[in-house]
Amino acid sequence: MNEIFKTHLEKFIKIDEREFGEILKFFRIQSVPAKQNLLEEGKVCRDYYFVLKGILRLFFLNEKGVEQTTEFAIETWWITDNMAYEHGRPSSFSIQAIEKTAFLSISRENQENLLREFPKMEHYFRLIYQRAYAASQMRMKYFLSYSKEEFYFSFVKSYPEFVQRVPQYLIASYLGFTPEYLSEIRKRQIS
């Protein structure tokens, strides 16, 4: 399972077996069943998660008490409440497994030590954050430029795997509208 992480790292940095072993020591490997929470809104956010197998989602409860999903993470994606993680503060989000999920986790202290000891990991994380930020910048663009209907179809086209693996009401939530409206959109397309 750890091989997934090694293969992923090698896309960004050169790394040998011994080094990888040293790096792994900073992480914990865990596995949770579907529906289980890794982090709960209001609790201090200590860890950053890397998905090895499965899907996680990030969400919060809006004022009506409805869960609002804002991010998914599949294999080789990182996920956390970054603001809370960085400042060691209570989280504004919860994180939950959608499928049975295996993942690595690293605490902020461990991450700091890791980056100090392995400058190539500083390089790696700089690239990871840079890409994550670039992706979220584009997401905001799509969000503002498309109608909800166009937004849904562009999402399906870009991430067909999500539509397979994630229930529709979560996709609707992620895209910022109701499951009822998503159902209506889909009906239009089929006919």
Partner DNA sequence: CGGTCTCTTGACGGAGTTCAAAGCTAGTGG
Partner DNA sequence: CCACTAGCTTTGAACTCCGTCAAGAGACCG
The pattern of x and - marking residues 145 through 164 that bind its own copies according to CB under 8 A reads x-------------------
A 10 A CB-CB count for 174 gives 19
Element (H, E) at 189: helix 179-190
* 71 interacts with its own copies by CB under 8 A: yes
Near its own copies by CB under 8 A, which window of 14-22, 68-76, 161-169, 182-190? 68-76
In the list its own copies, DNA, none, the entry touching 187 (Cβ below 5 to 8 angstroms by class) is DNA
In the list its own copies, DNA, none, the entry touching 177 (Cβ below 5 to 8 angstroms by class) is DNA
Please give the residues from 1 up to 40 whose contact with its own copies meets the rule CB under 8 A: none
Q: How far apart are CA 191 and CA 182, in angstroms?
A: 15
Which of 42, 88, 119, 160 lies at the binding interface for its own copies (CB under 8 A)? 119
Token representation of residue 41: 């809104």
Burial class (CB in 10 A: 0-12, 13-18, 19+), 128: middle
Sole residue written with tokens 């229930």: 167
